[in-house]
Amino acid sequence: MNSIKYNKELVYPSKVVCVGRNYVEHIKELNNETPSQMVLFNKPNSAITNELKFFSDTHRFEGELCFLIKDKKIAGIGFGLDLTNADAQAYAKAKGLPWERAKAFNGSAVMSHFIDFNGNLEDLSFKLFINGKLQQEANFDLMIYKPLTIVEEIESFLSLEDNDIIMSGTPKGVGSYKIGDRFSAIIYEKGKEILNCEWRVV
């Protein structure tokens, strides 16, 4: 199974549960409808990686604040990139088909390391830079569905196992990328940096 680093040790998430359309401005930039209920989809363990690969010009990145689960609760935080095959997703949407081909392919859940977090979730924010330019930023207030509500909704129909990851949705600023691009993400608590990570596209 694929692993991530949590407190410098390897752990093995059984799945990644993703929240779609959780930021108003992202909904607008993709011309999507605002959902009447939380949009959730899964990425399997085989999607998890710490390497950012280039797949094609139709693939885009979505930067997201991520949560690691222990005992059905949020125990850790990290940063992730939800990679999407935009053409495959557009086709699936048009035909009313599942999203797995667009969202759950191998290497589509690019993860940083994770650290313990015992503070207030309301104090979290993040920024994503590409080649030194600010590309995405968000904070707790911009989320339509807040982290504890997300956990509660998932648990209403799907069991969260220890070390599972929740990707909490992406703000505006998603886009394509190319080989050689440098991604740098920073998570802040009350404006203070608590986690940073970098990838170079290969």
Q: pLDDT tens-digit profile of 93-108?
A: 899 999 999 999 999 9
**Token pair listed for 17:** 């549960």
Contacts of 178 (CB under 8 A, 6+ apart): 54, 201
Helix residue ranges per DSSP H, 39-107: 86-95, 100-103
* Structure confidence at residue 27 (pLDDT): 63
Please identify which residue in the block is written with the tokens 């949009």.
39
| Mean confidence (pLDDT) of the chain | 95
| pLDDT cut 70: percent of the chain above it | 98
Average pLDDT over residues 87-92: 94
Pick the CATH number of 4-200 from 3.30.450.20, 3.90.850.10, 2.20.25.90, 1.10.260.40: 3.90.850.10
Average pLDDT over residues 11-30: 86
Residue 24: pLDDT over 90:
no
**Token pair listed for 200:** 């170079």
Phi/psi at 59 (5° precision)? -90, 140
162-172 per-position pLDDT tens digit: 999 999 999 99
Beta strands in 14-148 (DSSP E): 15-20, 39-44, 48-49, 59-61, 63-70, 73-82, 84-85, 109-111, 115-116, 124-130, 133-139
Task: Look up the pTM and report it.
Answer: 0.95
* Structure confidence at residue 30 (pLDDT): 65
Domains of the chain, by residue range, sit at 4-200
* Contacts of 32-35 spanning 24+ positions with Cβ under 8 A: none
Nearest residue to 174 (alpha-carbon basis) of 56, 81, 106, 91 = 81
Q: Sorting pLDDT into bands at 50, 70 and 90, what band is 36?
A: confident
